[in-house]
Chains A and B, each alone.
Chain A
Amino acid sequence: MNKDYLLYQFKSRRYLLIFLLLIQILAAILPFLFTGMSKYTISLLASGFSYGILLIAICVLTPFFFNFVHSKKSVDTYFSLPLSRKSLLISTLLFEISAVYVPWLIANIIIAFLSIGIGGFSPGGFILMLTYALMITTALAVFCAAIDLLANNAIDGIIMIGGYFLLPLFLLLAANAFADIFVVGYNPFNFEIFGYLSLPFMACNAYFEMLNITWSSNYGSAFNVPYLDIIIIFIHLLVFAFVLYREFTTRAVERAEQNSDNLLAYPFLIYAYSFIFLFIFTSSTVFQQDFMAISSIAVSLFVYFFVFIFFMVAHFVYRRKIYINLKMVSFFVVTIVLSFVFSQAAYLTRGFGLSENYPEALSSTRYTIGFTANRLEDSEFKNKISDYLDEIYGEDAYFDDHWSYFTISFSLDNEQKKDNEAALLMEELRKKAIDQFYDDLHNYNYDELIRINFLDDDNDYYDYDLTYTLDAETFDLLLKAADDFDVDGLYIPLSRIM
């Protein structure tokens, strides 16, 4: 770090610092001028505003502070200074972090001061929150700078940051498309997993954790420190610090104002997004159609054309000219084929075995079965339901057999699971649901749909839809299970209650 250069930055950018400080102080004080809200709510609001400004400031100011590497003129000046690149990098980064963090810190001290007397405030937690925020600020600044430096000009730097911000979200969409379409029962891809891939998401999420640390009235002696998040943020910080250091210290000056052809810049983003889009479209739109139908072909062609337009526009932004070559077209065609092959493989292997993997119903602890009996053809069964409802609500109650939905939930402990008739029945239904899904992916009869939910020991849900005509015998079994064991809930048709 070069102390003189750092001081120069503080001096030369004093107006920016004053502006950031004023904004943060306003964000801290203004909510306290509102009336009609509790002091606790106001404190949360003020912290939220302040934290939002911190995050926005990092994302906006990073490309601004590192802009000098993107201009031919300025990069010559800066890189010819008697200053090592390492010093230049650390000084620039340190100034940026200080410029956004210190005003936030002051604002939060003001908020803490104004919140005296609320209760639940922990000074220890407050200090922990400040440390946590510093870590997030540093990690996010390093992330934005590293991504910005992958580009070769200022505009591309901003596009890169946006592209990498959103990439985990689109990965999540693709994974969910895969799970929804090819894995019956269980979606292993929750937002939390992909949240860990996305530093901006973690930074946003950290706000709630920080509030929890500072304001929890149950704070007491046990610190609710989000260790996992801290470790993951630290890993992000290390990875992007490495990328940033490498990109900055070995950066070829002549890259300034050129096309961003770094492998991790446009080439990676364009192909990654194209593959994600093509996979989502192929699996969700094209794959679920009858391939031979003319209408399906038309829809498919339209979808592929749409993605190709995106692909061309992305290349135009990359190269600043309309550009097409055989390699690009080949990639596009190969990606379509790959996404189709991947979809087909996922279908044939029952979601690469994921659908068979969970759950072993007998090891589950809680079952819920719901069924829609819009058209109950079985009169014996219809009477049984009617009797059952009469028993509960009286004979005068009206039963609408066209719109009826039952949910029966019950829990079994490990001993009860082994030989329980209802549990065995549910496992049988689950297996039927899996077979039915993969035997005929597209044809559900939603009129007779049974939905079975399992909740395993880890509180993970498994949902199965099965087109199954529920009969009186099965219904008896379920009722028996509900009677014998702990009935968690019984949802009665709305029309009956009215």
Chain B
Amino acid sequence: MLVINGISKAFKDVKVLDNLSLKVDDASVFGLVGVNGAGKSTLLRSIAGIYHLDAGNISFNGEDTYANPLIRKDIFLVADDLYYPFAATIKSLKNFYGQFYALDEEAYAKYLKLFRLDPLKPIANFSKGMKRQVALVFALAIKPKLLLLDEAFDGLDPLVRYTFKKTLTDLLEDQSCSVIISSHNLKELENICDSYGILEDGKIEDYGNLMENKAHINKYQMAFNEDKRAEDFADFELLHFNKLGKVITLVIKGDPEDVYHRLKAYNPLILDVLNVSFEELFIYEIEKKEGRYE
């Protein structure tokens, strides 16, 4: 289990992580979302033991990831900005990673074939997407217990994205591996994440089980003869309010059945309940945080 306990990290005067705490269970896929500059990459690098934290600590299976380098054998980070040594080939990288991690030769050969990559060609000549595939090959072949993917799907074509997601699912089924994925592409995350966290101002603003949270946030479309305002629904945990003529759209957090019955009491002409996507959930949470309903 990954336990993040009250960590803070500042770069000069800019506080990027501020007393952040989080727990990620084993064998789960955690989606890390946040606006640009929210601190997602910093958090992933901190988990990987790269940054010396100003406060707090991060432990994986009870070991501090910064202080204890050996625990990092079980952690692998695929950074958003990939590094390959000068004139490196996949084969030379295999020698490099092979010194530090228990690289599964069979898996390595399998994923290399799956992604159709030439191990002897210089990586510098690869496209952006292919370079990311190289990193993913090693991430999968090393079989870490904690895989950190920063903007994992960036530059991947749809077929490779599909293959990778399927491979990731297989990996989770085979072993007790946890994955933390940060991405701006929330649609991609929605399919594979079982839990999520929204990072804002250096803190996890909201986190939990994605399906549960999605079930508790719903979109309600209603029509009224009379004029209605957001203030009329002040008793609800309102995340979003939109009005178009007589039709209003509300996004409300709460038990769907309870909310439905309470809204029914307003005697709307129509009342429909719609599901929200992960992307909408993210947007509404951020809007709520910023006090914007419309």
Contact = CB atoms under 8 A, between A and B. Distances in A.
A and B interact? yes
Interface of A: 2, 4-5, 7-8, 11-12, 71-77, 79-84, 87, 250, 252-254
Contact of B79 (A11, A76, A82, A252): A76
A254 B99 contact: no
Nearest to B16: A254
Contact of A81 (B11, B51, B100): B100
A252 B100 contact: no
A314 to B, nearest CB: 22
A82 B83 CA distance: 17
Interface stretch (B68-76, B161-169, B225-233, B255-263): B68-76
A150 B96 CA distance: 27
A76 B95 contact: no
Given A8-B95, A80-B72, A81-B72, A253 B51 contact: yes
B81 A72 contact: yes
Contacts of A83: 69, 72, 100
A75 B45 CA distance: 11
29 contacts: A2-B99, A5-B99, A5-B100, A7-B99, A8-B96, A8-B99, A12-B85, A12-B92, A12-B96, A71-B83, A73-B81, A73-B83, A74-B83, A76-B48, A76-B50, A76-B79, A76-B81, A77-B83, A80-B72, A80-B77, A82-B69, A82-B70, A82-B72, A82-B100, A83-B72, A83-B100, A250-B52, A253-B50, A254-B51
Given A74-B83, A76-B45, A83-B69, 11 more contacts: A4-B100, A8-B95, A8-B99, A76-B83, A77-B79, A79-B49, A79-B50, A80-B48, A253-B50, A253-B51, A254-B51
B293 interface: no
A76 B77 contact: yes
Contacts of B55: none
Contacts of B75: 80
A12 B50 contact: no
A79 B51 CA distance: 9
Contacts of B73: 82
Nearest to A64: B86
Contacts, number: 65
The binding surface of chain A is classed by DSSP as: helix
Interface string B86-125: 0000001001100111000000000000000000000000
Contacts of B72: 80-83
A204 B77 CA distance: 45
A80 B49 contact: yes
Given A11-B95, A253-B45, A82 B50 contact: no
A254 B95 contact: no
A71 B101 CA distance: 23
A12 B83 contact: no
Nearest to A251: B52
Interface in B258-284: none
Contacts of A8: 95-96, 99
A253 B73 CA distance: 20
Contacts of B45: 76, 80, 253
Interface in B98-155: 99-101
B215 interface: no
Contacts of B35: none
B211 interface: no
Contacts of A254: 11, 51
Max chain B C-beta neighbours (<10 A), residue from A12, A71, A250? A12
B22 interface: no
B185 to A, nearest CB: 22
Contacts of B50: 75-76, 79-80, 253
B96 to A, nearest CB: 6
Contacts of B51: 252-254
B184 to A, nearest CB: 20
B192 to A, nearest CB: 23
Given A76-B50, A82-B69, A4 B83 contact: no
Given A12-B96, A77-B83, A84 B69 contact: yes
A77 B88 CA distance: 14
A71 B83 CA distance: 9
Contacts of A84: 69
Contact of B82 (A73, A79, A253): A73
A432 B79 CA distance: 77
A77 B84 CA distance: 9
Contacts of B81: 72-73, 76
Interface in B15-58: 45, 48-52
A254 B77 CA distance: 17
Given A8-B99, A82-B69, A252 B82 contact: no
Contacts of A2: 99
A269 to B, nearest CB: 22
A391 to B, nearest CB: 81
B120 to A, nearest CB: 15
A76 B76 CA distance: 11
Contacts of B52: 250, 252-253
A20 to B, nearest CB: 17
A101 B72 CA distance: 33
B95 A12 contact: yes
B79 A73 contact: yes
Nearest to A3: B99
B245 to A, nearest CB: 52
A145 to B, nearest CB: 19
A253 B66 CA distance: 12
A83 B69 CA distance: 5
Contacts of A4: 99-100
A8 B69 CA distance: 19
